[in-house]
C-alpha cells in the first residue's frame, strides 16, 4: 500500500515546543557532566528495606516488607544536598497533611484495578518474593531487580512482576529508573481504568502548590486545574526548601504502550497513569488484557533535583538524558508487547512513539496521527477486541534510537506530531476527533 507522506493540515499540527524540547534534551544531555568526580552511590541492607546513599547521605529507602503497607515503595526520598522531596513517612501531625498516610508513602507503583484487585488502597497485597538481581553499587549508581507477586483480595495469584531499578547520579540530580515486566502462566489478567493507577509520588509538604510550590508539565501547563488529565513527556513538582530550588519530576518511559495522563493535586500528589481513558477523557472505558504467557512492560523514571534558589533545572535536557539512559540499557531478551485498540487515543502518543517502524507497518498515517481509528489492525498473536478492551500483541520493536531518527524523518517529510494540550483545547469544540475524547475533569 503506498504511503501518503503529505503533511497533515489543520489542528493536528506539529507540537513544535514539545518536539524541540525533546531534541534539545537529547543533544544536550550527553555533553553535560559533573564538575569533579561522580558521587559514590552505595546501599546498605536493613530488615525489610534497602537504604540507598551517596557518601553516607540518604537518597531513598526501598521498603519491601512493611506490616502496615502491603506493597513495596520508596520512602524518605532526597534530592542532592540531602533535602527531602517526599512527604514525611508517616506524616508529622501539625507539619504535614495526614491524609492517605498508607496510600501515599513516598514513591510507588500501584493499581486500583488489577483484575478487580485494589492494591493502591491496600485492599490487596503485592508480595515481595525475592531479589532476582542482588543490589550492586559503586561509582555513579546502584542497581537491583525484584520479583513481586500480585494477589487478589482473597489471596489468589493474579500475576507476577519482575522490576529492575537503577538509581544514578546524573547532571541534573538523582535519576531513578524503574522497568517492570508483568506476566502470568496461569491465566489472563487485566488492568482497569481509573485515576488511581500507575507511578505516583506524594511530595514534601513545602513543595505542594498549597504551600507555595509549583506543579508544571512539559507543555508549560501549571497547577492542578491545568495539569490534571493531560498527557505530557514529564511533569514536575518543585519549590524552595532551605534556600535551594528542589523537586521531583516523573518521566514516563516513551516506549510504554500509551502516553501517560497525569493525575495531579495541589496538595502534593502526582501520578503518571497510562490506563485512564475514561477516568481522564470521559471516553470509552478501557481495559488492558494481558494474555497468559505474554509479557506486559511498563517503565517510569523519577528525577530528584536540586539547584540554587531562583535557578530551575533544565528539565528538557534531563528528559533527554533519561532517554539516553534507556538507549544505553541492555536490550530485553524477549520482544516488548504492543497494545492496540480501536478506542486508543492515538493523538496522545509521545513524539518518541509516533514514527517507529512497527507503527508504520500496517497503520495508515492519518489513523496514527489524529484521524479516525483504523478499521483493521496488523495481524499477530492476538488483535484488538470490541468493547474498549485491549489485547497484548507481541511485536519486536526497533531500538529506541530508531524513534529519534523517526522524529527527524517526521520533520523532513512534513508529518505532524501531536499538538500540545493547549492547542487541543482550543479546537476541541469544532473537531469531531478531539471532542470525542477530551474530558471535563479538573483543568478542562
pLDDT at 138: 72
Average pLDDT over residues 135-140: 84
pLDDT at 401 over 80: no
Percent of the chain residues topping a pLDDT of 90: 63
Nearest partner of 350 among 425, 406, 276, 417, judged by Cα: 417
Q: Which of 10-14, 34-38, 129-133, 350-354 has the highest mean pLDDT?
A: 129-133
Pairwise pLDDT comparison (102 vs 140), residue with the higher score: 102
295, with CB counted inside 10 A (0-12, 13-18, 19+), is middle
265, with CB counted inside 10 A (0-12, 13-18, 19+), is middle
pLDDT at 322: 98
Of 64-73, 247-256, 337-346, the range with the lowest mean pLDDT is: 337-346
Pairwise pLDDT comparison (427 vs 287), residue with the higher score: 287
Q: At what angle do helices 400-413 and 315-328 cross, to 10 degrees?
A: 130
Does the residue 417 lie in any domain? no
**Residue partners of 263: CB distance under 8 A and separation at least 6:** 195, 196, 198, 200, 228, 229, 269, 270, 271, 273, 276, 280
Does the residue 354 lie in any domain? no
Pairwise pLDDT comparison (380 vs 179), residue with the higher score: 179
pLDDT at 186 over 90: yes
Does the residue 4 lie in any domain? no
pLDDT at 167 over 90: yes
- CA distances (Å), 133 to each of 97, 136, 145, in order? 37, 8, 5
Does the residue 319 lie in any domain? yes
- The rounded mean pLDDT for the chain is 76
Sheet of strand 73-75: strand arrangement: 41-46, 49-54, 57-63, 73-75, 107-111, 197-202, 269-273, 261-264
Nearest partner of 91 among 105, 78, 107, judged by Cα: 105
Nearest partner of 213 among 251, 262, 171, 264, judged by Cα: 264
CB atoms < 10 A from the CB of 221, how many? 22
CATH of the domain at 240: 2.70.98
User: Quick one: pLDDT band at residue 418, thresholds 50, 70, 90?
Assistant: very low
- The domain tally of the chain equals 1
Pairwise pLDDT comparison (407 vs 215), residue with the higher score: 215
pLDDT at 317 over 90: yes
Does the residue 429 lie in any domain? no
User: Quick one: pLDDT band at residue 25, thresholds 50, 70, 90?
Assistant: very low
Average pLDDT over residues 33-53: 80
pLDDT at 267 over 70: yes
CA distance 444 to 334: 40
Pairwise pLDDT comparison (27 vs 362), residue with the higher score: 27
pLDDT at 39: 77
In the chain the first and final C-alpha atoms are separated, in Å, by 39
Does the residue 45 lie in any domain? yes
Q: Are 119 and 289 in contact (CB under 8 A)?
A: no
pLDDT at 140: 87
Burial code (b: 16+ CB inside 10 Å, e: under 16) for 12-51 equals bbbbeebbebbbebbebbeeeeeeeeebebbbeeeeebbb
pLDDT at 349 over 60: no
CA atoms within a 13 Å half-sphere pointing along the CA-CB vector of 281: 30
Does the residue 411 lie in any domain? no
Sheet of strand 157-170: strand arrangement: 126-138, 141-151, 157-170, 173-183, 295-308, 244-252, 235-241, 214-217
Q: Would you give the distance in Å from CA 113 to the centre of its chain?
A: 17
pLDDT at 38: 64
Does the residue 289 lie in any domain? yes
Model pLDDT for residues 65-114, shown as the tens digit of each residue? 999 999 999 999 999 999 999 999 999 999 999 999 999 999 999 999 99
User: Quick one: pLDDT band at residue 288, thresholds 50, 70, 90?
Assistant: very high
Percent of the chain residues topping a pLDDT of 70: 65
Model pLDDT for residues 198-245, shown as the tens digit of each residue? 999 999 999 999 999 999 999 999 999 999 999 999 999 999 999 999
pLDDT at 427 over 60: no
pLDDT at 33: 34
User: Quick one: pLDDT band at residue 310, thresholds 50, 70, 90?
Assistant: confident
Q: Cell numbers at residue 12, please?
A: 493536528
Q: Looking at the DSSP assignment, which residues form a beta bridge with residue 84?
A: 78
pLDDT at 37: 53
Structural domain range at position 251: 29-335
pLDDT at 312 over 50: yes
CA distance 281 to 194: 11
Amino acid at each position: 500500500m503506498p504511503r501518503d507522506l503529505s503533511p497533515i493540515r489543520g489542528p493536528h499540527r506539529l507540537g513544535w515546543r514539545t518536539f524541540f524540547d525533546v531534541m534539545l534534551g537529547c543533544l544536550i544531555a550527553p555533553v553535560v557532566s559533573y564538575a569533579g568526580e561522580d558521587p559514590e552511590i552505595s546501599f546498605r541492607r536493613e530488615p525489610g528495606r534497602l537504604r540507598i546513599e551517596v557518601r553516607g547521605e540518604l537518597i531513598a529507602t526501598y521498603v519491601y516488607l512493611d506490616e502496615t503497607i502491603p506493597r513495596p515503595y520508596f520512602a524518605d526520598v532526597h534530592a542532592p544536598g540531602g533535602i527531602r522531596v517526599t512527604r514525611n513517612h508517616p506524616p508529622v501531625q501539625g507539619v504535614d497533611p495526614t491524609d492517605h498516610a498508607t496510600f501515599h508513602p513516598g514513591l510507588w507503583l500501584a493499581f486500583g484495578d488489577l483484575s478487580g484487585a485494589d492494591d493502591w488502597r491496600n485492599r490487596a497485597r503485592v508480595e515481595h518474593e525475592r531479589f532476582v538481581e542482588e543490589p550492586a553499587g559503586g561509582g555513579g549508581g546502584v542497581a537491583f531487580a525484584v520479583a513481586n507477586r500480585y494477589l487478589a483480595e482473597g489471596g489468589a495469584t493474579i500475576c507476577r512482576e519482575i522490576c529492575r531499578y537503577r538509581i544514578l547520579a546524573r547532571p541534573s540530580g538523582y535519576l531513578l529508573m524503574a522497568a517492570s515486566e508483568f506476566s502470568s502462566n496461569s491465566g489472563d489478567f487485566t488492568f482497569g481504568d481509573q485515576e488511581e493507577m500507575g507511578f505516583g509520588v506524594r511530595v514534601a509538604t513545602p513543595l505542594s502548590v498549597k504551600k507555595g510550590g509549583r506543579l508544571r508539565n512539559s507543555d508549560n501547563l501549571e497547577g492542578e486545574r491545568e495539569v490534571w488529565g493531560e498527557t505530557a513527556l514529564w511533569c514536575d513538582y518543585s519549590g524552595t526548601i532551605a534556600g535551594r530550588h528542589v523537586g521531583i519530576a516523573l518521566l514516563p518511559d516513551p516506549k510504554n504502550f500509551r502516553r501517560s495522563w497525569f493525575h495531579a493535586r495541589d496538595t502534593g500528589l502526582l501520578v503518571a497513569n497510562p490506563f485512564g481513558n475514561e477516568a481522564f477523557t470521559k471516553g470509552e472505558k478501557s481495559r488492558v488484557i494481558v494474555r497468559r504467557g505474554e509479557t506486559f512492560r511498563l517503565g517510569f523514571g523519577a528525577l530528584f533535583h536540586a539547584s540554587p534558589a531562583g535557578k530551575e533545572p533544565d528539565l528538557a535536557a534531563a528528559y533527554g538524558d533519561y532517554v539516553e539512559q534507556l538507549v544505553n540499557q541492555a536490550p530485553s531478551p524477549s520482544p516488548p508487547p504492543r497494545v492496540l485498540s480501536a478506542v486508543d487515543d492515538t493523538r496522545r502518543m509521545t513524539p518518541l512513539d509516533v514514527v517507529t517502524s512497527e507503527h508504520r507497518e500496517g497503520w495508515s498515517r492519518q489513523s496514527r496521527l489524529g484521524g479516525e481509528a483504523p478499521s483493521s489492525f496488523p495481524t499477530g498473536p492476538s488483535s484488538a477486541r470490541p468493547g474498549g478492551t485491549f489485547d497484548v500483541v507481541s511485536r519486536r520493536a526497533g531500538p529506541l534510537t530508531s524513534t529519534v531518527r523517526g522524529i527527524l524523518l517526521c520533520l523532513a517529510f512534513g508529518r505532524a506530531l501531536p499538538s500540545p494540550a493547549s492547542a487541543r483545547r482550543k479546537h476541541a469544540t469544532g473537531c469531531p476527533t478531539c471532542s470525542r475524547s477530551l474530558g471535563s475533569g479538573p483543568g478542562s
